[in-house]
Amino acid sequence: MNTVNILAEKKILLGVTGGIAVYKAVELCSKLVQARANVQVLMTRSAQKFVQPLTFGAMSGRPPITDLWQLYQGDKIGHVTLAHEADLFIIAPLTAHTLARLAQGMADGPITATALSTRAPLLIAPAMESNMWEHPATQANLQLLVGRGATVVGPEAGRLASGKIGRGRMTEPAVIQEHARMVLGRTGPLSGLRITITSGGTREWVDPVRFMGNRASGKMGVALARMARDQGAQVNLIYGAMSVEPPLGVNLVEAIRAEDMLRATLDLLPDTDILISAAAIADFRPVTTHGSKLKKESGRGIQLERTPDVLKAVAEQRAKLGMPKLVVGFAAETSDLITNATRKLESKSLEMIVLNDITAADAGFGVDTNRVTILTRDGAAETLPLMDKEEVAFNILHRIRGLLGAQSIGWSPGIGSVISS
Ligand code: CTP
């Protein structure tokens, strides 16, 4: 894996079966193509009644396969070639009928024949009328596919084509795309590793209305969690206040105050191989949290006390547990950058610290980009150019793997510049 975008260059088969949700499959196809995947669409006859193959052809740059016999061309048997080369087979929407045919192992159309021939993971997004979905026959068929390793996304509850409210709507394309990333990443370079990431900012309550907080958006922690998930890690995301949605497929633990971050982090330590502390954790909290809203007349200043230093507590536990194997911190600095970050690296017993200059307008809090310097215990300090937070996350994870002494993940060096070592 040598790219931040796990979908890039992947060979994805998109099977489209006939239901009103076919229009959403057009959007899914478009999203996958925009993510630079090579998409080959296969359609059943009934799918073509909802949307012309031309639409998918224009979108994917390849004519869709609409007929089993279209697959037998020249000296190659098309469905076998397609099936063998595929990285992932998505069927969205999947009707009750094709689900039944897949469960029975039939090969009477391009989608079912290809599904039998491929060893690529199967991701299905069923969509049908709610009674059909709930029918024991459909559920039994579904269990057969799940038992054979298929990943099922949806269906969702909501308003159906029949006008009824019920479960049967196809999951939104953006969500299916996230699942596609997850399935593709399952056997990635971090598979087998448990990574705990803290993200966002803490809030220390003054009264039920007011808190002491900070500008952290959670974007860096979320990017790390998503990238680690895409590389096969089992991810815990301990999150405080965030302005971004956490990614799918990670274990979420909410922790609003520094004290909550401490408890959540320590609880997960025995099951954590790598801890990345990206959260902006408060250093002070009000001595008293008032149970009712403070009146302005009573405002005589807020007395503060120190909060626990989570990473220092981790260092103590780690000495007893032998876990995590590796701890990474962040240093948000405004001056004496390297000196301050190096001091934190040592005082918090970290293997790596990611330093960012929060005075820069295009890096740090709230923005989508970051410019970081990665410092390690051997004294190396590597400054990466300004990049998207997902790229920063990718680089951090790559270097973590390097420290773990694991096999190279194929990242070509040269993206960063070593400023001292
Ligand atoms: N951190 C922590 N517990 C705290 C505060 C911070 O574990 N109470 C972690 C952060 O998640 C980060 C690292 O320590 O990984 C450095 O955080 P930073 O705010 O830069 O430094 P502080 O230790 O808070 O020191 P200072 O505010 O004096 O710079």
Residue 226 has φ and ψ, to the nearest 5°, of -65, -45
pLDDT of residue 301: 81
Report the candidate in 139, 404, 85, 130 with the shortest Cα–Cα distance to residue 274.
404
Give yes or no for a contact between 409 and 398, defined as CB atoms under 8 angstroms apart: yes
Closest CA to 92 of 135, 51, 140: 51
Centre of ligand 1 to C-alpha 364, Å, is 15
Collapsing DSSP to helix, strand or coil, 247 comes out as coil
Q: Which residues of 255-264 are buried (b: 16+ CB within 10 A; e: fewer)?
A: bbbbbbbbbb
Residue minimizing CA distance to atom 6 of ligand 1 = 281
Q: Is the CB of 342 under 6 A from ligand 1?
A: no
Distance between CA 45 and CA 28 in Å, rounded?
19
- Residue 80: what residue type? V
Q: What is the sign of the dihedral through the CA atoms of 70, 73, 77 and 78? A: negative
CA 227 vs CA 25, 189, 232, 411: distances in Å: 25, 11, 9, 14
Please answer whether residues 124 and 151 qualify as being in contact, where contact means their C-beta atoms are separated by less than 8 angstroms. yes
The second-level CATH assignment, the architecture, of 11-184 is 3-Layer(aba) Sandwich (3.40)
Q: What is the pLDDT of residue 81?
A: 81
Cα of 311 from ligand 1 centre, angstroms: 8
Measured from the CB, is residue 224 less than 6 Å from ligand 1?
Answer: no
Q: What is the pTM of this model?
A: 0.90
pLDDT of residue 152: 98
352 in Cβ contact with 398 (< 8 Å): no
In short, whether 310's Cβ falls inside 6 Å of ligand 1 is yes
DSSP string, 299-326: -----EEEPP-HHHHHHHHHHHH---SE
Q: Where in the chain is the domain with CATH 3.40.50.10300?
A: 194-290+300-403
The residue whose CA is least distant from atom 17 of ligand 1 is: 331
214 annotated active-site:
yes
Whole-number pLDDT of residue 263 = 98
Report the amino acid identity of residue 338.
I
CA 281 to ligand 1: nearest atom: 5
* Tens place of pLDDT per residue across the chain (421 aa): 557 899 999 999 999 999 999 999 999 999 999 999 999 999 999 999 999 999 999 999 999 999 887 766 665 666 678 889 999 999 999 999 999 999 999 999 999 999 999 999 999 999 999 999 999 999 999 999 999 999 999 999 988 888 888 899 999 999 999 999 999 999 999 999 999 999 999 999 999 999 999 999 999 999 999 999 999 999 999 999 999 999 999 999 999 999 999 999 999 999 999 999 999 999 999 999 999 998 888 767 889 999 999 999 999 999 999 999 999 999 988 889 999 999 999 999 999 999 998 888 787 677 888 899 999 999 999 999 999 999 999 999 999 999 998 433 333 333 333 332 2
330 ligand 1 Cβ < 6 A: yes
The yes/no answer on whether domain 194-290+300-403 falls in CATH 3.40.50.10300 is: yes
Q: Whose CA is nearest to atom 27 of ligand 1?
A: 283
How many Å apart are CA 87 and CA 6, to the nearest integer? Answer: 11
- 386 in the Ramachandran plot: left (φ > 0), alpha (ψ -120 to 50) or beta? beta
Catalytic residue among 38, 141, 214, 356: 214
Per the CB < 8 A criterion, the answer to whether 222 and 247 are in contact is: yes
Cβ atoms of residues 416 and 385 within 8 Å:
yes
Give ranges for CATH 3.40.50.1950 in the chain: 11-184
Q: Give, for ligand 1, the residue of 277, 354, 355, 396 to mutate: max count of ligand atoms closer than 8 Å to Cβ.
A: 277
Element at 135 (helix H, strand E): none
Give pLDDT, residue 418: 30
Which whole-number Å values give the CA distances from 151 to 29, 125, 146, 255, in the listed order? 18, 9, 7, 30
How far CA 249 is from CA of 48, 153, 217, 359, 419, in Å, comes to 33, 12, 20, 33, 37
262 with 240: CB under 8 angstroms? Answer: no
